[in-house]
Chain A
Amino acid sequence: MSTSSLLSPKTEIPRSLYIGLSVSSFLAILCLWCLLTYGGFTPPDFLATPAEVLSAATKRIGDLSLFHHMGSSLTVILSGFLLASVLAVPIGILMGSFKAIQAVLEPITGFMRYIPVSALIPLLILWVGIGIEQKIMVIFLGTFFQQLILISDVSARVSKDLIDCAYTLGARRGQVVRSILLPACMPGVMDNLRVTMGWAWTYLVVAELVAANSGLGYMILNAMRGLFTDVILLGVFTIGILGLLTDFLFKWLRHRLLPWSAEF
């Protein structure tokens, strides 16, 4: 038995093969989609054809309405995500390394992380209305508590030896927090921001559920009323592509900002 074949766990495969497999997987889905729609296996109002989605895209790119929806959604997502991150990063780092702060915050975060954001929408409407603030709050609540838990875990796992070492080099408590704890957390923080950014995208439709008049989530929900599956798919693809782009952006940022950190 060979232990370095395609079917052995944790074995490298040639790059060309890797790319080949990825492209085939993409093409297979495309083919299946073509087969189902053009082959007449699905009713026309059940699943739009690739050509219909393409023409829906061309039309909405032509009249710029797709960009208008993208703009609204990006504003909501980025505002909610930035607000959550600005608070969760420092609080999470402190929570993971100071037992007193952990004791104060753990009960509420532990509880809040299991609450579906959609369950809070009625309260949000009552408290902040139905404007953009409500949508931003949905993204904020969906990401903040998750970020807090993940980042506090990163902070808790910073090696105690690193901190002890700084003390023996003459550092004081404040210096240890600023010059050791903070930078030591950065790779983990970046990784978790990237992951939670992905989650923020998944809350988009929930955020645009109530009283929206623009945004990709709104576009999808609106298209559902007329069974316009081409527009629905266009919205889904756009969200997917924007999600991928933000993911790449985070990878690139991590590479640029933290060149010292081991690649993941």
Chain B
Amino acid sequence: MSFLALTDITVRFEPKKKPAVIALDDVSLAVEHNTFSVIVGPSGCGKSTLLRLVAGLETPTSGQLMLDGVSISGPSADRGMVFQSYTLFPWLTVRENVMFGPKLKRMPKSECEDIADDLIAAVRLTGFEDSYPKELSGGMRQRVALARALANDPRILLMDEPFGALDSQTRQLMQELLLEIWQRRRKTVLFITHDIDEAIFLGDEVHVMSARPGRIKSTLSIDINRPRGIDVLTSPAFMDYKRQIISLMHDEAVRAEMA
């Protein structure tokens, strides 16, 4: 069985006085240990819902979620998440934010600080340990959020369009930094985006989702050697994957918008 296994997941929302919405329809997904999996799909396809299910922040109407053979019920520190919105705790400094998880586990303070400073260095924010989030740029905030999620040493890292609010240059730098960290601390990653370039650049596997009701329409293995640099972005192999995904997604976008 796969490390993360979603089997026949259906999510129905039934808002009052409105027709029921099927956010996810019979979705099955397998993510292998230590791989970087990306889910790409048009907006409103339920990809965020999918991630929130894995985080334990929502429960499926039907279906089964297993992480390493154990059923997922509720959120836990072993599934770290980076959100699209800025979620640093504004009353805590950068270091205190990163220490938040380890402190909840009642680790000794010096150990928490070591973990934090190590990760702050990994996201290249040494010197900002005592800054408050309001003093940081958007890209810096998301780097701290990444460090904070990693501080718990989660078994899987969930990322919900973490760079979606950043400008494209910053986004590219963040992707490179994320890959660099991922190469060094191998981890299972499930990453959500609507940006096709980002999906191919980062992923070992790219799952393309269909518009509502959300389904996994197609899965591509990205056979591009690592470490990947920006030259990958213009390589023929990259273009080829991009062409495939664009055509898959275009059909979906048309279906979603024009329906």
**Does the CB pair A258–B75 fall under 8 Å?**
no
Q: Are A169 and B134 in contact (CB under 8 A)?
A: no
A164 contact from B57, B77, B92, B133, Cβ within 8 A:
B57
Q: Chain B residues near A262 (CB, 8 Å)?
A: 90, 134
A175 — which chain B residues lie within 8 A by C-beta? 104
**Please, which residue of chain B has its CB at the minimum distance from the CB of A259?**
B132
A43 at the interface (CB under 8 A from B): no
Report whether B105 and A260 are in contact in the complex, using a CB–CB cutoff of 8 Å: no
CB distance from A169 to the nearest CB of B (A): 4
Question: Cβ of B244 < 8 Å from any Cβ of A?
Answer: no
Do A169 and B91 contact each other (CB < 8 Å), given the known contacts A161-B85, A260-B132, A262-B134? no
Task: Enumerate chain A residues within 8 angstroms of B52, measured Cβ to Cβ.
Answer: 164
Residue B183 at the A interface, CB < 8 A?
no
Is A180 located at the chain interface by the 8 A CB criterion? yes
Residue of A nearest to B104 (CB): A170
Q: How far apart are B140's CB and chain A's nearest CB, in angstroms? A: 15
Please give, as numbers and ranges, the residues of chain A lying within 8 Å of B105 by CB-CB distance: 170
Number of A-B contacts (CB under 8 A): 69
Complex Cα gap A149–B86 (Å): 27
**Min CB–CB distance B112 → chain A (angstroms):** 13
Majority SS at the chain A contact face: helix
Say if the beta carbon of B128 comes within 8 Å of chain A. no
Would you call B134 and A260 a contact (CB within 8 A)? yes
Interface status of A252 (Cβ within 8 A of chain B)? no
Q: How distant is the Cα of A186 from the Cα of B91 in the complex, in angstroms?
A: 10
Closest-by-CB residue of B relative to A180 is: B89
Q: Within 8 Å CB of B55, what residues of A?
A: 164, 167-168
In the complex formed, the residue of B with least CB distance to A164 is B57
Interface digits, A160-193 against B, CB 8 Å rule (1 contact, 0 not)?
A: 0110111111110001000010011010000000
Beta-carbon contacts under 8 Å, A235-264 to B: 258-262
| Contact call A161/B87, Cβ cutoff below 8 A | yes
Beyond A259-B132, A260-B132, A262-B134, whether A168 also contacts B81 by CB under 8 A is yes
Chain B residues with CB under 8 Å of chain A are: 52, 55-57, 75-77, 79-81, 83, 85, 87, 89-92, 100-101, 104-105, 132-134, 148-149, 152, 158
Ordered by A's residue number, 21 sampled pairs between the chains whose C-beta atoms are within 8 Å are A159-B87, A161-B85, A161-B87, A162-B87, A165-B81, A167-B55, A168-B57, A168-B75, A168-B81, A169-B101, A169-B148, A169-B149, A171-B104, A180-B89, A183-B89, A184-B89, A184-B91, A258-B91, A259-B132, A261-B90, A261-B91
Given A159-B85, A260-B133, A262-B134, 20 more pairs with CB closer than 8 A: A159-B87, A161-B87, A164-B55, A164-B75, A164-B83, A165-B83, A167-B57, A167-B75, A168-B55, A168-B79, A168-B149, A169-B77, A169-B80, A169-B101, A170-B76, A171-B104, A175-B104, A260-B91, A261-B90, A262-B90
